[in-house]
Structure 1
Amino acid sequence: MTRSLKIRTPQPVENRPGLDEIRTRVGTHSQFYASMLRRLADAHRPGLSDLRTRTEGDYTLGLFDAWAGVCHTLAFYAERDANEAYLRTATERESVRAHADLIGYQLAPAKAAGVHLAFEAEPGDAPDETLEYAPGLRVRSVPRDGETPQIFETVEPLTARAEWNALTPRLAYPQVLDADSETLSLTADVARVNAGDPILLMRGNMPVAFGEGEGFLRRVSDRSAGLDGRRIVALKADPTNPPPYVYIASLLVFPAWDANQALNSANLGAAVSGGSWTASALSTTTALNNIGLFTLNLAISSLVFVPPDPILPHAMRVQAGFFGNIAITRRTSPVESDTTAGLSGTGAVIFAGPSLSAGSYTTQQPSDILSTAGDIDEEGTPSSGRGFIYLEREFTEITPGQTILIRDATHEAWVSVHAAETQSVEGYSMSAKVTRLEVALSGTGPDGASVSLETFQTRTATVFAMPEALTLSDLPITAPVGAADGALTTFQVELGTSELLLLPGKTVIVTGELEELAGVVASEVLEIAENTLDKGHSILTFTTPFANRYVRASVTICANVAFATHGETVQETLGDGDATRPFQAFTLSSKPLTYVSARTASGMLPALEVRVDRVLWSLVDDFRDAGPEDPVYIVRHAEDGTAQIIFGGGQRLPTGQDNVEAVYRKGAGLAGHLEAHQLTLLAAKPAGLKGVTNPLPPGGGADAEVLEDARKNAPLKVLTLGRVVSLRDYEDFARGFASVAKARADWTFDGFDRPIYVTVAGQDGVELAENGDDMQNLKAALAEAGEADQRVYVQNYAPVEFGLEARLYVDAAFVPDEVEAAARAQALDVFSFDSRGLGQPVTRAEAMAALQAVPGVLGVDVDFLYRLGLGKTNEPHLVAAVAQPDLSGGLPIPAELLTLGEAALKLEIEQ
């Protein structure tokens, strides 16, 4: 036994760089015990030579055993202490916190999620009523299974109006006809428009010729019913480029306009022009308040008019022939006989029959008759320059003042009716009760020239009368909202009404069915950059382009929007100030303290106000950032999330009773990541508000920083020192920002220079809202910390899933189902969002190694390794793209993050 003993302590200590755990233990109990036994026989220690007993129960050996245990314990904890002395190897949260404290870094507390809420306002008693609400409106969530209700509060004022609940884009534009129009669309209530019906297009009281060398009259060749109830009498025009049409004269705001004068049509008349004006121009050049703008809106609406001399369709409801033949009655000489035997022809007589009334008549042909004028007499002779025509029957619908169209095979004339009466006439061996019309001797032809009525052949001529105006329907706009449409860009949408109170800076939520995904409804938040009133309709221009393209008829725009964050307000008296005590501290009774997004290096600030003797004190990150007389405090968090407010030793709290008060909010973390339309309960229903919802799910929340996150993020503060210069600086700065779990910075080239492209991902893979506070604050913070001339893009990552199918050869000693479950959990963990990096590839060897590490797995065969959506293949490696320029000229393409799809992981067990 003695021959086998040797000195085994201290053990050599060697640690290569990059280890997650270091070894400093110089020996174990057995090693220390063996070394002490070996030294009993050491010739250099003659005093121990008499201790020759090696049997159990000897007191000396018992003492050695005890001290070996002491050494073992000391060596164990010395190694533990050594690991806790380094940030990479520390395992205790307090150790990581202490390391972070050395460089002024505090483990990040939980951060509140945020979301834009859409409120529904009730119509007020007054039509111009605008509702104003201060921040602090509380909204409660409807919990799902396993959830608890979460409370959100608005953090900005809300301005609401009932008509802003669901604004709609412009859905149609007016139909405008011209002389060459071959098609038209009528409203559904227009009856009796059938194929073959005569149609006139009229400008005012005058028909419009169909085209050069053509006549006035048109006929309906076909008709059909539109899906929206319109009666399609012809094909509609292309709605993507509607012709110009003035519905309303736009108001041009002149500097000389007196905002105090009454807003009515008379006073606005001098300010009417055909251009357009903007809401911001109005607000800067006049002193109109909300009531004034509302009144102005009504006044402008009253100015709606059709354009000068529009062309409108008319259906000719009366179609008649002539009784007898046409003769133009002109009294020029007395006639004593009551027969027409002495006349040269009957064509000069406008009424049928051989008998004449007493009077003077010409015996010349019609061309000669036209050169002679007659006088009005009591016997009904026509006035000077006029004649009588007799229709084939009675038409009481035709009255004086109307106009008629006379048409035969070769001529057309538009003639005014000066008188109309019913008479009984005889002629051609027949008699009838007919309508006699007194008309001018000539009418207007399609070319605008005068056409004599004597040119018409009686037997083939037809009278068209009683033009009934047909109501044109507006033509639908089918272009999707969010797409460039004519003069509109992807930044704009035209509303169906004028909304003067939607001023720049207001936030709206657009909701609608996606054009490319039928039945899928999406929403997005946009901020108004300008509101232009153009011919009676508001055109909203946004600060950012639409992210989606929506089916126009499905779109609603809510302007009753306010931003809210997770947490509810608490008012608390912290206690008494004591001027004799430095660094006095108070603990908040509610937790966790809400932190919200802010434009700081950390990306967040607490929702906290502390007042001492009703005076507001300031929050600082560290007392070293303040002077000795500054009224400041710091906030520190315990392991359980409790927040402690600590005052300094320079400017101490004044002595007083209950003079330290705090107003703060409690609630934060990923519990606030709810689903869309889950925030629907108003905690206290304010007057005028009917309901609320969240069209988009809340985002930007984060749980308190865990050990591994702190281990990675703590050095970031000293890596950048508040400035970003290198590519790695941009990545480190973004990764240390609140709500950002992963970040990657890449150079890109856009054809002109090399901008930096920063790809970010939120906690649990949640994307940061493009227009949300987190994304905007990160962009602003990077711009402030970076070089002024360095262009930087920040965008969400592109999540990509891959599939893995493999066969596992399992040891017969293990339960196959348990091995399969362990292997599945191992693969999903190794290739999860938390374990992968942006732009990190996946290899077949890596997948095999992950599965092979599971106890009981003897071997692995990978059958398929592929990107989802590209078909099953067995690739040796899958590449995750890094940020790269868009060759089409758009923004660069963000970096990808490859994760294993749970449904695409298939394992087959073989033994």
Structure 2
Amino acid sequence: MTDCGCDPLAPQLPSTANPPAQTHLRRRVATHATALARMRTAFGADGRSPQLRALARQSAEDPAVALLDAWAVVCDVVAFYSERIAEEGFLRTATERRSIRELARTLGYELRPGVSAQVELAFTGETAPGAPAAVTVPRGTPVQSVPGQGEQPQTFETAEDLEVRGAWNDIPLVDAEPQHVAREAHQLWLRGPTTSVRPGGRLLVVRGTVSRLRVVDGVEPEPAGHAGWTRLRLVPATDTGGAGEAWDGPTEVYAFGERASLFGWNAPDPNLLVTEHGRPAGSEHVDSDDADQDLDHHRWMDFGVDPYALELDGDRPSVRAGTDAWVAVEQPAATDDAPPILHAAPVTKVVPDGAQRYALSGRITRVLLAGPRRAVPELERRRAVVHCASWPLPAQERPRTGPVAGTELEVHATDPPLPVGRSVLVVGVDAAEGQPQVQAATVTGCTPSGERRMRLELDRSVTGLRPDSVRVRGNVVPASHGETVRQVLGSGDGRVSFPCFRPRRAPLTHVRSTTTPEGAAPELEVRVDGVLWERVPRLDTAGPQDRVYVVRHDEDGGADVVFGDGLHGARLPTGEENVSATYRVGIGAPGAVGAGQLSLLVRRPLGVRQVENPAPAADWAPPEELEQARVNAPVRVRTLDRAVSVADHEDLARGYAGVGPARADLVWDGRRELVVVTLLGTDASAVSAGLRTDVHAALAAVRDPGTPLEVRAGQVLPFGLSVAVRHDPAHERAAVEDRVRAALTAAFGPAVRTFASPVSSAAVLVVVRQVPGVLACTVPRLEPPPDHEEARVAEGLLTAAPARWHGGVQAAQLLALDPDGLVIGEMTQ
């Protein structure tokens, strides 16, 4: 024995010291072995009788020692449950959901029950003759999904009334822009899939007062990505007129169906027709001082060409007069380095006639051209070629080739136009990746912009869509996952304090709400004797006359409706089945339907043809997990529902329903500081613009407006890694690789990552080495995300950036392992 009375040989109690931030408590003061050893030590202590000291050395087969062993078991059980009970009393160490729920309630925090999935439904109105012009789809109209393999049909209900018009079903974008053909243009666009223009044909391009003749080199009907258009390739231009004149004004393009010569082009040389009787009729003698030209001293009279009164050889019934009927006279240049001569003008009059001149006779077509008369280079009757029988080509517009961007869209006009405040969906194909895209927006303006066109102004910018694929769906209404249930909850009894009623179906639907700190509100309406009662967060602040109730969730997914006791909330009046409720059921992941799955109208309104969801459901959230609750529960104490510091913005955003990872940063843009909140949805999924707007509104309501606030969708950077593994021969190689893959996905998948957190090769190595069946592995090699210069690997560390200013405000980045980029090799040495 020591001076303090302690036996130095007696087993010591295990330490019950608990440093901060531990996930398990150490409060088991006596295990079975420790308790039995202490009892044996007590029996064998100095001063005990020889019989007891001898008993302490007996085996467990002795009945007395067996009794001690039984009490040691009792001590072990009591110590175990004492430790478990103590663990359930702390938020960090509790493992039971009910324990965490009750602990969180002491902080004024309720575990989030989840959020219903949201979707935009696009209705299609009937357009057949006799169909109503407008149909109202009432709020709460149910639409069911077509379930996939192993799924159950899900019901979504519209959130508001919707006026459906057939004219707003599918409004196409005006995918063309004015075509201004430059002097040296190498191509020309025509609207329409086919054209009678052939390679080698001539086109007359008229712009303002200048005209140019171009030669067609090739014809491409409906080139890739431009259905309904024809592209003409043009031979490189030569200067065919108009040099020095202004090349402006609207563009007009004409094609020609015929090519003709001027009457007299094949007239014989009058010198060859001179006889002894004299020269031919219609010729004249020309004096010449050149002795070598004795034979060339006669010519045809009036052999020149009036450029505004042409005589076409032959009968040309296809040549007509009119402002859109042109002829073009083309004449090769006298020398190779000189430009050809071109004269073009509209036809004002066409007269079929005959002529007998130049030793020729035959039918001609007189064509008078419009003035004003201008100086035209001398045309030669034998060399000039006349292009006639023209028709205009649809060349006023060309297809848009750049991606659609901005908040303004020019679409085909509808009657009536889309009203301001109307929700629409802009659908199309991504110009870069070729994938279908759906972008939701609200109409802020709709004005006519031309013949059968209107300019649509949206509250959000549309970006990255291929012009020919863009359509605006105008019959759009938001809907949420959940099915309406009407139920009599029970009978009121004024003698009972805090009466509790339970809806028979669960889980209770919760939808996003900006009026609650948690960002979600139940779809529940309770009436007592036909009078609507109000839901409140808690009853301790309610007065004795307040008709209020609270909703309390339990661990099996159900919910209880609890009323007051006459001091904290009014008592229920006594009555027979006078407590009724209208609520909706459905929440979380079951509502995550894909695009196009919602198509079954349970009650089809007259005049509605069909319904669909062009985009998948989004912004859903499952009931809060235990680990999330441990982090989010202290938020109420840290923030007191106010955003003062930058960290407060992050805490409140992370606790908002439907939000997964969140981060807040203070960014300097060169002129001012602003708070940038970056967030992603559940499991690091993409967030909709509606959720970002709701988070912004919720934060704006509880913060100082002095510092600007922006809420951005986070950027997920998928990285790859490669590692070689040596496995234990006792384990199958394929099974070990599957376990390694699963461990890395669980440790570095998007659902568990946070913004701006780096990834190191050492952290990956630790995860791989802890997998059962792995004997050794090489140092993992990290592969940075492609096309992201900011994410670099330096000394085995892959970094992600927070929100920052880089040519504009940039959202924070989140590094997540790409399953397709994970390569597991075999370690050979």
> The TM-score by the shorter chain falls in which range?
0.7 to 0.9
SS in 1 for 2:673: coil
Counterpart residue number, 1:679: 598
CA 1:421–1:802: 2 relative to 1, 3 Å:
closer
Cα deviation for residue 73 of structure 1 reads 2.1
Cα deviation code 1:239-286 (max 9, x no counterpart):
xxxxxxxxxxxxxxxxxxxxxxxxxxxxxxxxxxxxxxxxxxxxxxxx
Of the three residues 648, 669, 673, the one matched with 1:729 is 648
Cα deviation for residue 660 of structure 1 reads 1.6
1:220–1:233 contact (8 Å) kept in structure 2: no
Aligned residue identity for 2:753: R
Counterpart residue number, 2:426: 510
Map of 1:122-271 to 2, 5 A cutoff?
122-123=126-127, 125=129, 129-173=133-177, 210=210, 221-222=215-216, 224-228=218-222, 230=230, 232=232
Counterpart residue number, 1:544: 460
CA distance in 2, matches of 1:586, 1:405: 90
CA distance in 2, matches of 1:613, 1:828: 55
CA distance in 2, matches of 1:907, 1:578: 71
CA distance in 1, matches of 2:31, 2:346: 123
Matched, 1:852 2:769: yes
CA distance in 1, matches of 2:771, 2:364: 107
Counterpart residue number, 1:699: 618
Cα deviation for residue 460 of structure 1 reads 7.8
CA distance in 2, matches of 1:841, 1:408: 72
SS in 1 for 2:630: helix
Cα deviation code 1:328-386 (max 9, x no counterpart):
xxxxxxxxxxxxxxxxx999xxxxxxxxxxxxxxxxx99xxxxxxxxxxxxxxxxxxxx
2:727–2:776 contact (8 Å) kept in structure 1: yes
Of the three residues 569, 572, 578, the one matched with 1:653 is 572
CA 1:31–1:523: 2 relative to 1, 3 Å:
same
Cα deviation code 1:301-343 (max 9, x no counterpart):
xxxxxxx99978586979686799xxxxxxxxxxxxxxxxxxx
Counterpart residue number, 2:480: 565
Counterpart residue number, 1:590: 505
CA distance in 2, matches of 1:120, 1:521: 19
CA distance in 1, matches of 2:612, 2:702: 37
Counterpart residue number, 1:895: 813
CA distance in 2, matches of 1:744, 1:787: 18
SS in 1 for 2:540: helix
CA distance in 2, matches of 1:810, 1:443: 92
Q: Alpha carbon RMSD of aligned pairs, Å? A: 4.6
SS in 2 for 1:692: strand
Counterpart residue number, 1:18: 21
1:743–1:760 contact (8 Å) kept in structure 2: yes
Q: Percent same amino acid among aligned pairs?
A: 31
CA distance in 2, matches of 1:389, 1:99: 102
Aligned residue identity for 1:109: P
CA 1:125–1:629: 2 relative to 1, 3 Å:
farther
Aligned residue identity for 2:601: L
CA distance in 1, matches of 2:464, 2:79: 67
Cα deviation for residue 603 of structure 1 reads 0.9
Counterpart residue number, 2:240: none
Matched, 1:554 2:469: yes
Map of 1:480-495 to 2, 5 A cutoff?
480-483=402-405, 490-495=406-411
CA 1:316–1:883: 2 relative to 1, 3 Å:
same
1:115–1:694 contact (8 Å) kept in structure 2: yes
Aligned residue identity for 1:864: R
Matched, 1:34 2:37: yes
Cα deviation for residue 148 of structure 1 reads 1.5
Matched, 1:97 2:95: no
CA 1:728–1:176: 2 relative to 1, 3 Å:
closer
1:840–1:898 contact (8 Å) kept in structure 2: no
Cα deviation for residue 671 of structure 1 reads 1.5
Matched, 1:477 2:399: yes
Cα deviation for residue 470 of structure 1 reads 2.5
CA distance in 1, matches of 2:357, 2:775: 119
Counterpart residue number, 1:361: none
CA 1:310–1:702: 2 relative to 1, 3 Å:
closer
CA distance in 2, matches of 1:89, 1:413: 92
Of the three residues 765, 772, 793, the one matched with 2:710 is 793
CA distance in 2, matches of 1:540, 1:532: 7
Cα deviation for residue 37 of structure 1 reads 2.9
Map of 1:101-500 to 2, 5 A cutoff?
101-123=105-127, 125=129, 129-173=133-177, 210=210, 221-222=215-216, 224-228=218-222, 230=230, 232=232, 313=254, 444-447=371-374, 469-483=391-405, 490-498=406-414, 500=416
CA distance in 1, matches of 2:454, 2:319: 45
CA distance in 2, matches of 1:464, 1:808: 81
Cα deviation for residue 808 of structure 1 reads 3.9
CA distance in 2, matches of 1:628, 1:762: 41
1:27–1:75 contact (8 Å) kept in structure 2: yes
CA distance in 2, matches of 1:602, 1:57: 62
Matched, 1:535 2:450: yes
Cα deviation for residue 96 of structure 1 reads 0.8
Counterpart residue number, 2:489: 574
Cα deviation for residue 159 of structure 1 reads 2.2
CA 1:235–1:114: 2 relative to 1, 3 Å:
farther
Cα deviation for residue 5 of structure 1 reads 9.5
Aligned residue identity for 1:493: L
Aligned residue identity for 1:736: G
CA distance in 2, matches of 1:883, 1:893: 7
CA 1:140–1:322: 2 relative to 1, 3 Å:
same
Aligned residue identity for 2:754: G
CA 1:193–1:156: 2 relative to 1, 3 Å:
same
Aligned residue identity for 2:113: P
Matched, 1:662 2:584: no
CA 1:323–1:627: 2 relative to 1, 3 Å:
same
SS in 2 for 1:621: coil
CA distance in 1, matches of 2:328, 2:672: 74
Counterpart residue number, 1:629: 545
CA distance in 2, matches of 1:522, 1:497: 23
1:178–1:311 contact (8 Å) kept in structure 2: no
1:480–1:552 contact (8 Å) kept in structure 2: yes
Matched, 1:78 2:78: no
Aligned residue identity for 2:157: E
Give the structure with the larger strand fraction: 2
Aligned residue identity for 1:908: E
Aligned residue identity for 1:666: V
Aligned residue identity for 2:590: A
2:139–2:162 contact (8 Å) kept in structure 1: yes
Counterpart residue number, 1:708: 627
CA distance in 1, matches of 2:818, 2:311: 91
CA distance in 1, matches of 2:216, 2:795: 65
Cα deviation code 1:571-598 (max 9, x no counterpart):
1121222222222221111111100111
Cα deviation code 1:48-78 (max 9, x no counterpart):
7764551466665454334333322222211
Counterpart residue number, 1:752: 671
Cα deviation for residue 867 of structure 1 reads 2.6
2:156–2:479 contact (8 Å) kept in structure 1: yes
CA distance in 1, matches of 2:184, 2:428: 38
Counterpart residue number, 1:64: 68
1:6–1:35 contact (8 Å) kept in structure 2: no
Instruction: State the number of aligned residues.
Output: 752
CA 1:74–1:412: 2 relative to 1, 3 Å:
closer
CA distance in 2, matches of 1:418, 1:38: 133
